[in-house]
Structure formats: structure tokens, C-alpha cells
Amino acid sequence: MILVNCDQGSEAWHRARAGVITASMFATARTRVGELDDRQKAYVEAVLSGVSEKIAAERAGYKVLPKSAIIERALAGEPVGDFGEVAKNYAFRLAIERISGEPLDEGFETFAMRRGHELEPAARAEHEVQSGLIVQRAGFVLSDDGAYGCSADGFIGEDGGSEYKCFINPEKLRAFHIDNDASEVFEQAQGCMWLTGRKWWHIGLYCPALASVGRQLWWRRFERDDAYIEKLQDDLAIFRSIVDGFEQQLKQEAA
């Protein structure tokens, strides 16, 4: 782990992130299309294991033998699925930033990003009050090879860390406060634990508009899931190869 001591939103922070696959974008980087669905995958795996097509279909929940081009390709050992356009566009942006060493957006911040940076100290303070823990300010964390990174809002002791979100979208606020659904941030939490080597992570949702009812901070502890992190690493390694390819193409065209 390489820790870059900088304030989020600062010029140093933007420079540190340039060309780096960041935890907040892991979901984007893993976006794929045209892959086998769960039943198709179960059918293909069963056939490839040696059972008959009829038995494989029954195991996968099909009433008749499934027929599709994607299944035929999978059975033939050909690759299926590809990265979506959103993932490819992100990869191309990273390739440009690698070459220039500068953020492609020149450090531009959206309203949501700026709001998050401004409210982070208050969110951290409220978290300390509610949890009774001391949160040490962190910075931007890089993997040893500098390819991946995350903005760690805080470190807690030797094993924990924290991240604060300041959503104003009512749909997202309802998901956390009413449905108690934190699935949107699970991947980022696991990514932060992977990069920092920590065992658990607190994700907090801070909304000062709810202070009058004592609900200004919703937070949850996530435990490290090594099986999930292993799959995350595998997927990101493939995505990284896409970034490498774009970078090589751009350099060859300029030569």
C-alpha cells in the first residue's frame, strides 16, 4: 500500500488519481454485456462436466433443451460476453491520463463531489460520536504497483477504515434509511479493504437535512470478504489489460 497524504478535491488528489482504476469506479470497470445468465451458465457447466444435455437442462431448470448462439459458443469453448461501452470509455479515459499524467477532466468537480468533500469532516465527527471510535484522517491509497487506488476517508485502529457518502438523491436515501440496503457501496467497501489490507470498513451516509430527527448519519460495518475480493481482483486484472491495450494503441499511432 502507498499512502498519498492529500486532501480530497485538492490538486494533489486529482493528480494522484490520474490514470488509476479507483474503487469508486470498480463497478463501472466490471460492467459487462452479452454474458451467460445463471441458468445458461448452469446448463453449460453441467454439459461440460460430462452429463447428457437432457440431464443438464433439467438441473438448470429448463423444460426443453436450451438453444442460443451464446450457449453454442460457450459449449465450443469460445469466449462469451464483453465489457460494456461504459467500461470501455472509462478504460480509454484512463489510458489518456496515463500518457499525460494529468486528469482528463482537469480536476473538474461535480456539485455532488464538492458537497461530499465539504461535508466529510462533519460526517467523520458524527461517526466518532455515534460509534465511540477515533477516526484518523487518511488520504489517497494506491496499490504497490500504482494501478489501483481508493480515497480512504479514515483509518480506524489497525484493522478498520471508513468512507462517507453524502447523497441527496431521495431514491438512494430511501434505500439506506428505509430499506436498509447498502448493496450500492458493498463493492467499494471491499475494494478499500483489499487496497488497504484492512479487515473491516464502515460506510456512512451523511445527510444533515435529517439532523432534526437524529438520522443525519446512517452507517454500517462491512467485514472483509476474501472470496469476493479474489473475484474482484480477477475482473479488474482483465479490465486493466483493456487500459493497457488502449495506451499501447495511442502510443503506436503517435510514433
Q: Where are the alpha helices (DSSP H) in the chain?
A: 11-17, 26-29, 38-48, 53-60, 69-75, 85-100, 111-131, 170-177, 183-196, 226-254
Q: Are residues 124 and 200 in the same domain?
A: yes
The pLDDT tens digits of the residues spanning 143-189 come to 999 999 999 999 999 999 999 999 888 999 999 999 988 888 899 99
Residue 121 within a domain = yes
Q: Are residues 146 and 235 in the same domain?
A: yes
Residue 252 within a domain = no
Q: Are residues 110 and 25 in the same domain?
A: yes
Q: Are residues 185 and 132 in the same domain?
A: yes
Residue 95 within a domain = no
| Band of pLDDT at residue 108, cut at 50, 70 and 90 | low
Question: How many independent structural domains does the chain possess?
Answer: 2
**CB 166 within 8 Å of CB 115:** yes
**Mean local confidence (pLDDT), 234-238:** 95
Residue 98 within a domain = no
Residue 9 within a domain = yes
Residue 171 within a domain = yes
The pLDDT tens digits of the residues spanning 4-59 come to 988 888 889 889 999 999 999 999 999 988 888 889 999 999 999 999 999 999 99
Residue 249 within a domain = no
Enclosing domain of residue 156: 2-29+105-240
Strands of the sheet containing 160-165, edge to edge, are 154-156, 160-165, 200-206, 217-223
Residue 100 within a domain = no
Q: What is the DSSP string of 63-108?
A: SS----HHHHHHHTT----EE-HHHHHHHHHHHHHHHHSS-TTTT-
